[in-house]
Chain A
């Protein structure tokens, strides 16, 4: 369901000539040697980051200023505070509407809508799903989560669709938005909760705004894709008949982009849902609260119940919107009575007499068993990876002087990604030390790199397998879907039980989090290799192994590199959350800044450092697949 959204990568590089490739090799050889020599000469003793860098103080001051002026400065009096009130009003209206319907009413309405949009199968799914909330005993929480999600989606669509249209139609708007959206999409959820509370304080409004910021890039991006993808021939034909601009938009572009627009809504919902759960950290009501509380009490089972409710909600919303995207004729002779019947049920007072079921106990039993019996082998794994990979890499990175790191990023960036990406990445690298968080950034980077390597290893293996075995793919797909929708927090506890509070725990959680999209992209890349090519290779007598190594993998390179790019961004997001389970470094700084007043500046700076790290990694890998990928 959660189709991985890829950022558009349109530049197609000229094919490389053999000579250029050869000089490229020499240059990278020289670069590597130079870097190694420079490292040997200049490496440092990795002095810890100063506890009180200028950046921290500055950000701390910003916070104090905001605190002091919240009720006096016009920006707040007439801007931010109104925004907060307005959003709050909207949330309350949506929630009141949903809650007012009651369980039976909401089930009936949702079922009827699903029926009209998608037929009886979708309707059945919607009814079963919504009843599931009641069965799990999570009805009020689910309504809260649904209300927050729908509000955020509504706002995202209201803001994102017009912006997406503008971006597709007006060149400079598109150009101006692109880098902004890039950054917004790499921002780990964790990094902007603190700024949100600074501006909007705690509660539903801050949660909705945070969710909006998280989800709206997707709305804009997909809308832009949809509008830009409208067949120019149809637009031209309509122009030739004398359509005005408005007529072109309302009668041609929007209707033709409809399936893509629905996809935009669908993806926005998925993004919003995952963020709404996280906003429980800033006092947003709903299922996220259950998960957080379960975590505080170290109760994986209770978290599982709430996680399951979220997965159900995701599946229902996804199927209903996907069905809406399909262009089919709706039979209003059936639809109208169904809707009417649902409306009748909605106004009848029907008590909720559902039995309760919970998976908490079996899940807890299973977790305890795993924790008890796997501990020794997991200890070995953790220690091996830590000593063989993580510690040496981290040591290398933290003892590299910041300027050498910046130069190396610049140099290799130039080589693999072009001067533009290299400059951006280099600036990001320099920014890390300007923020006074170079050491922590390098520690986080080391963890991210190891986690990405493991993610790619597992993801490619699983992706190749499911691309080659349809049956396996059919089994793994729903598992991957669910895994991607489960809020990431749920994975933290089992991981921490098995691996202790350690960087490796964050790595494990990150791998679990990032593998599904990688598997998906790899599988798609391999399956997209044209059947004719495969046929030709087979008829030339290739063995399946040769087919894989000589044809499918090389031809799927674009997909693989895209997977690496996506993987690394997701890993970063999760490694940062790993600050909650002992991964330390930037993630810990953010968590600390979030909960300790005197650490606020440092936390915000760490949030910025995470963004810079994300930009750095993204530019390098995206540049890589742009420059080298067979587009």
Chain B
């Protein structure tokens, strides 16, 4: 029935828009204001993100009485959603200064809504058993010594460094060149491919050097060791071509659409106040991935057990 009303609303919109032409957000006239409306959350494709979104969605629905629409979108496309009105909030953003520039500064369709409290770590990893076998492998200085271990059909005689989804932030090509490593960056193309490779490396005891990141549910299942690269110092990654240092820690944050920030009321307040730890997120991720819980079940379990964490998020007066 909701849909039918929506359709009628849209016919009206079409007619009204008739004289002035249709803007790209025409038809998205659902109130995102405090009238207990619908909140459209982007769901980016990794489980940690979903943990944030699921808990927020649960609280929005059960504590504040909103309806939540989850939209499965890649990062870049979620940002486009601010413009079209398809997305109200992104609840775990990794940097993306270029997108902030476009959508927040230039187009003015989005605003920042504070950190999530999580720290994002990007780095190079090997399976724990390999680090146990060769303890010095976790120092980048020794990587060339082990290049042969990491040779594959794709690496053209060099060692292979497996990278992930192309949407991820990476300096690996530059790092390999600038650190004079005898390695070739091979792009797995997706998080799934990366995880499969890592799992196989553990299960089959195959050496693997790969790009990965935390928080990530895989760490709750299997152990991987991080390879130490030259330490990060502010500005050492300023020129992407000359990078020769490790990745910085990312302060993950939330972004919401301008419209939502202006009219989102309690829902916006909740999202703005939301902040928790990596452990919190990993716990929910684990419920989701390894305990076979649905989004709702996982969120419910966490919310039941962590009232003191989320109580302060609820905006006063709602």
Contacts and interface: CB of A to CB of B under 8 A. Distances in A.
Contact of B3 (A92, A283, A289, A588): A92
B99 interface: yes
Interface of B: 1, 3-4, 6-7, 10-11, 13-14, 17, 20-24, 26-27, 45-47, 71-77, 80-81, 83-84, 86, 98-99, 102, 152-154, 156, 162, 165-167, 186-197, 199-200, 203-204, 288-289
25 contacts: A74-B21, A76-B21, A77-B20, A77-B21, A82-B22, A84-B22, A84-B24, A85-B26, A100-B4, A297-B192, A382-B153, A391-B153, A496-B192, A501-B154, A501-B162, A501-B187, A502-B186, A579-B189, A581-B192, A582-B189, A584-B154, A588-B187, A591-B189, A595-B75, A597-B99
Contact of B154 (A375, A496, A502): A502
Interface stretch (A151-159, A197-205, A480-488, A560-568): A197-205
A81 B98 CA distance: 26
A77 B21 CA distance: 4
Contacts, number: 199
Given A100-B4, A382-B153, A504-B153, A496 B193 contact: yes
A71 B23 contact: yes
Nearest to A504: B153
Nearest to B99: A597
A165 interface: no
Nearest to A95: B3
Contacts of B191: 296
Contacts of B188: 496, 501, 581-582
Given A201-B24, A597-B102, A85 B10 contact: yes
Nearest to B23: A71
A467 interface: no
A375 B74 contact: no
Contact of B80 (A197, A292, A503): A197
A93 B192 contact: no
Contacts of B199: 298, 497
B1 to A, nearest CB: 7
Given A96-B3, A282-B77, A500-B152, A89 B187 contact: no
Closest 5 CB pairs of A and B: A77-B21, A595-B167, A592-B166, A501-B188, A386-B153
A289 B72 contact: yes
Contact size class for A? 35 or more
A99 interface: yes
A81 B72 contact: no
Contact of B84 (A93, A202, A492, A581): A202
Contacts of A96: 1, 3-4, 6-7
Interface string A273-316: 00000001111000001001101111000000000000000000
Contacts of A77: 20-23
Given A85-B13, A591-B166, A503 B154 contact: yes
A88 B23 contact: no
B14 A85 contact: yes
Contacts of B156: 391
Contacts of A583: 189
Given A202-B81, A283-B73, A292-B72, A501 B166 contact: no
Given A202-B77, A598-B98, A502 B190 contact: no
A23 interface: no
A283 B72 contact: yes
A69 to B, nearest CB: 10
Contacts of B193: 492, 496, 501, 580-582
Contacts of A282: 77
A383 interface: yes
Given A96-B7, A386-B154, A501-B162, 8 more contacts: A85-B14, A100-B3, A197-B80, A280-B72, A371-B200, A502-B153, A502-B154, A594-B74
Contacts of A95: 3
A88 B85 CA distance: 14
A496 B194 CA distance: 9
A582 B161 CA distance: 12
Given A202-B84, A583-B189, A71 B3 contact: no
A224 interface: no
Contacts of B23: 71, 77, 81
